[in-house]
Amino acid sequence: MQSNWAVELFLVSIALAAAVLAIAAIVLFERRSKRWAATRFAEDVAAVFLFDGQALIDSSPSARALLATSPASGTAWARLSACLSPHFGDLDIQLAHLAQAGSVTLHSTLSPDSPLVLRADLRGGLTRLVLADPSQHGTSTNQDLMAQRALADELHQLRDTVAHAPFLMWRERANGDVIWANAAYMLLASDVLGLGEDLTWPLPRLFERHAAAQNVIGQRQKLVARQGKPAWYDLTGFAQGEDRLTFASLADQAVHAETSLRDFMTTLTKTFAHLHVGLAIFDKDRQLILFNPALLDLTGLPAEFLAMRPSLVSVLDGMRDRNMIPEPKDYRSWRRQMTEMERAAASGLYEETWSLPGGQTYRVVGRPHPNGAVALMIEDISGEMLRTRRYRAALELSQAAMDEVEEAFAVFSAAGQLVISNAAYARLWQAAPDTALTEETLRSVSALWRAQCAPSAIWADLEDFASNAGDRAPWLAELRLLDGRLIECRFAPLSGGATMTAFRLRDAKAGPKAVTESDTLRKRA
């Protein structure tokens, strides 16, 4: 946006300058002149020079053409003096009073039929020289002068606007000579120049010529000032006839932001590189923009393929060709499944376990990212699933072994939750096997036991025993079922605060055993 504004500003300045030049065009000298015979200004209004002392810092096109015809060599001031001295005999004397007068107007003495006017003004320490031919303004002098003044004021405002522009602007010839620059360029040039160097004409070059020579838009170059601090600029060059105009805007903030983003992405990439989870991030167009090495190992896709930024469908197709996704019955159903997966991932709802034909098990998670991007995370959980299956098989084997034990027993956690029971326990107490390990607690189970036994005081003792967090000793007791059968009870502490309860029916041949007042016989170990 800055570059477009700068171009529009420059085009306006050129249009206004051309208007001023067209109003005041002059013919400098007649062919009869010996020293200035070949010099003509057929289309320029006036020759305008801007000096800082004797150093030329700005000039109009006609002024540069005038300097080119000078018979003298050396500085721009010396060449201009050689051109004007024949027409203004007291030029040096009159200009010597410029510091006191502030403004001096001189009339030529060489060509009375084609008089020339030289006006010198001292403004802000700068000397401005304007060479014009009043005879070219026609018969309506007052109107021409008023129009010229209005255009001059407008041109002055435009020059002031360009001078205070926050970007650099300069014009250069085909050979690389910088023939004009705005104030921002001059200030930067004075800072870049070494000690003892002056701003002379042509102006010093600050940047490489690539942007101007190739009409490059958006080229970025680094410039190091005298203090050694680098600064970055975005350059835009345009052809202006045989010359070229170049703009340069400061790009330090953009470079800093890009550097920070690049460092962040580097850190992020290094972090992802050490993850065992495969990561693939797709942009809003579902093109792969980031992946980590683990993705290569998990999918079997080559790095060259992923580096070409394939689409999400292409990545899934490649995984399907390598049997790295669940194989559907047909391709159409698979494509529909992948479309549903993409939609679910974009909404943050996709999480699924893939059982692959090769025996591996993958956990695939899809999550939305900013700006419409989608991230897929693939994790190999084959080992985890194997351990889970082994653990489940061990539990089933242990349960089968416990079911073969004739003694009925049940184990309660420290919180009183039923965690283990066997088939003999279910037969003795008529407990449902499918609900034994769900919501059963010691309090609910003891209520079941109490309902099937004769009144006894051991229930309160059992609850106190199970809830005691200190040292506990195993103990025995006897219960009488409502049908008359006698049960031997054994209660023992387990690690972690758990409690085991075991029950065994008394042998009928042994006959009845005496029962104490509390129907309880305890043996402390």
The string of pLDDT tens digits covering residues 119-139 is: 999 888 889 999 887 665 543
pLDDT-based confidence at residue 383 (cuts at 50, 70, 90): confident
Domain boundary among 126, 144, 163: 163
Specify the number of domains making up the chain: 4
| Of 227, 247, 230, the residue nearest 238 (C-alpha) | 247
Q: Which residue has the tokens 């102006």?
A: 203
Q: Assess whether 42 and 130 both reside in one domain.
A: yes
Q: Assess whether 231 and 338 both reside in one domain.
A: no
| Of 333, 336, 315, the residue nearest 324 (C-alpha) | 315
Question: What is the predicted pLDDT for the residue at 138?
Answer: 45
Q: Which residues, in sequence order, are CB contacts of 161 under 8 Å at separation 6+?
A: 9
Average pLDDT over all residues of the chain: 76
Contact 378, 298 (CB under 8 A): yes
481 DSSP assignment: B
| Of 65, 74, 302, 364, the residue nearest 201 (C-alpha) | 74
Which amino acid, residue 86? P
Residue 142 has pLDDT above 70, yes or no: no
Mean of the pLDDT values across residues 55-69? Answer: 84
**210 domain-assigned:** yes
The string of pLDDT tens digits covering residues 285-311 is: 889 988 888 898 888 899 899 889 999
Which amino acid, residue 170? W
Q: What percent of the chain has pLDDT over 70?
A: 76
Q: Assess whether 25 and 158 both reside in one domain.
A: yes
The string of pLDDT tens digits covering residues 388-418 is: 888 888 888 888 888 888 899 999 998 889 9
**103 domain-assigned:** yes
Q: In what order do the strands lie in the sheet with 230-240?
A: 178-181, 168-172, 243-250, 230-240, 217-224
Question: What is the predicted pLDDT for the residue at 111?
Answer: 59
Own/partner contacts of 262-269, CB < 8 Å, gap of 24 or more, are: none
pLDDT-based confidence at residue 338 (cuts at 50, 70, 90): confident
Domain boundary among 112, 138, 163: 163
d(C-alpha 459, C-alpha 123), whole Å? 112
User: What pTM does this model have?
Assistant: 0.41
The string of pLDDT tens digits covering residues 171-216 is: 888 887 888 888 888 888 877 776 666 667 778 878 876 544 555 5
Mean of the pLDDT values across residues 330-345? Answer: 74
**444 domain-assigned:** yes
Residue 491 has pLDDT above 90, yes or no: yes
Q: Assess whether 175 and 106 both reside in one domain.
A: no
Own/partner contacts of 285-289, CB < 8 Å, gap of 24 or more, are: 285/311, 286/311, 286/312, 286/313, 286/342, 286/374, 287/311, 287/312, 288/312, 288/315, 289/373
Domain boundary among 163, 194, 227: 163
Which amino acid, residue 368? P
**260 domain-assigned:** no
Q: Assess whether 141 and 180 both reside in one domain.
A: no
Residue 243: strand pairing partners:
240
Would you call 496 helix, strand, or coil by DSSP? helix
Find the range with the poorest average confidence among 37-51, 69-83, 134-148, 270-284: 134-148
Q: Around Cβ 346, how many Cβ atoms within 10 Å?
A: 19
pLDDT-based confidence at residue 493 (cuts at 50, 70, 90): very high
Question: What is the predicted pLDDT for the residue at 169?
Answer: 85
**92 domain-assigned:** yes
Question: What is the predicted pLDDT for the residue at 478?
Answer: 92
Most confident option among 31-35, 169-173, 211-215, 486-490? 486-490
Q: Interhelix angle for 442-451 vs 458-467, to 10°?
A: 170
Q: Assess whether 410 and 380 both reside in one domain.
A: no
d(C-alpha 114, C-alpha 116), whole Å? 7
Residue 282 has pLDDT above 50, yes or no: yes
Q: Assess whether 157 and 177 both reside in one domain.
A: no
Mean of the pLDDT values across residues 63-83? Answer: 82
Q: What does the block give as tokens for 232? A: 């970055």
Q: Assess whether 351 and 475 both reside in one domain.
A: no
| Of 422, 469, 479, 404, the residue nearest 446 (C-alpha) | 479
d(C-alpha 145, C-alpha 23), whole Å? 10
d(C-alpha 212, C-alpha 188), whole Å? 18
Question: What is the predicted pLDDT for the residue at 524?
Answer: 37
Cα torsion 11, 17, 22, 27: sign: negative
d(C-alpha 481, C-alpha 487), whole Å? 7
- Tell whether omega for the bond before 455 is within 30 degrees of 0, i.e. cis: no
Question: What is the predicted pLDDT for the residue at 357?
Answer: 85
Query: 419-435 in b/e burial notation, b at 16+ Cβ within 10 A?
Result: ebbbbbbbebbebeeee
CATH number of the domain encompassing residue 250: 3.30.450.20
**270 domain-assigned:** no
Q: Assess whether 319 and 196 both reside in one domain.
A: no
d(C-alpha 460, C-alpha 497), whole Å? 18
Contact 83, 76 (CB under 8 A): no
| Of 250, 242, 167, 251, the residue nearest 212 (C-alpha) | 242
End-to-end CA distance of the chain: 92
Q: Around Cβ 445, how many Cβ atoms within 10 Å?
A: 20
Cα torsion 50, 54, 56, 62: sign: positive
CATH number of the domain encompassing residue 20: 3.30.450
Question: What is the predicted pLDDT for the residue at 146?
Answer: 46
pLDDT-based confidence at residue 38 (cuts at 50, 70, 90): very low
Q: Which residue has the tokens 């093109």?
A: 287
488 or 347, which is more confident:
488
Q: What does the block give as tokens for 497? A: 């605060």
d(C-alpha 432, C-alpha 421), whole Å? 11
Q: Assess whether 91 and 120 both reside in one domain.
A: yes
Question: What is the predicted pLDDT for the residue at 121?
Answer: 92
**217 domain-assigned:** yes
Dmax over CA atoms of the chain, in Å, equals 158
Question: What is the predicted pLDDT for the residue at 214?
Answer: 54
- Residue 284: give the domain boundaries: 277-384
Q: Assess whether 43 and 93 both reside in one domain.
A: yes
Q: Around Cβ 282, how many Cβ atoms within 10 Å?
A: 26
Q: What does the block give as tokens for 140? A: 């309506």
Q: Vertex 172, ends 169 and 175: CA angle to 5°?
A: 155
**10 domain-assigned:** yes
Q: Assess whether 174 and 240 both reside in one domain.
A: yes
